[in-house]
């Protein structure tokens, strides 16, 4: 698994997640794409008990977390159950393209579970 893709501005060093043609902070078009290292801190977390799609419906629900990456941008991720605000996590993009946050140090155990 790999880290989320980010963009950053070479002019003002602002970083963000979703692709843009210009920096949202200063308007410069000198931007570069880079893969995040995946390290971050949980900013907010919740458990979704009523899934919006049948394929997401699972016993006990599923977690959604807002994670502030070490590079600066804050992104929405699927999350392991039981995460706490302020907890250190590792974010990796899964095969379906969605980022998932797991407690830091547990990514090696999680890597084989798909």
Contact positions vs Zn ion (CB under 5 A): 9, 11-12, 14, 23, 25-26, 28
- The residues, ordered by sequence, that sit 6+ positions from 112 with a Cβ below 8 Å of its Cβ are none
CA 34/CA 72 separation, integer angstroms: 13
Which CB sits closer to Zn ion, 31 or 91? 31
* Other CB atoms within 10 Å distance of the CB of residue 90: 21
Which CB sits closer to Zn ion, 16 or 92? 16
Q: State in angstroms the smallest separation of the CB of 24 from Zn ion.
A: 8
Which CB sits closer to Zn ion, 31 or 42? 31
Radius of gyration over alpha carbons of the chain, in Å? Answer: 15
Sign of CA dihedral 64, 70, 71, 72: positive
């Amino acid at each position: 698994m790999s880290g989320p893709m980010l963009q950053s501005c070479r002019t003002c060093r602002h970083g963000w997640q979703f692709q843009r043609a210009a920096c949202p902070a200063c308007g410069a078009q000198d931007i570069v794409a880079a893969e995040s290292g995946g390290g971050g801190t949980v900013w907010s977390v919740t458990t979704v008990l009523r899934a919006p799609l049948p394929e997401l419906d699972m016993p006990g629900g599923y977690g959604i977390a807002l994670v502030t990456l070490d590079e600066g941008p804050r992104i929405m991720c699927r999350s392991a159950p039981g995460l706490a605000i302020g907890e250190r996590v590792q974010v990796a993009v899964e095969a379906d393209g969605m980022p998932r946050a797991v407690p830091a140090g547990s990514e090696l155990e999680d890597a084989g579970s798909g």
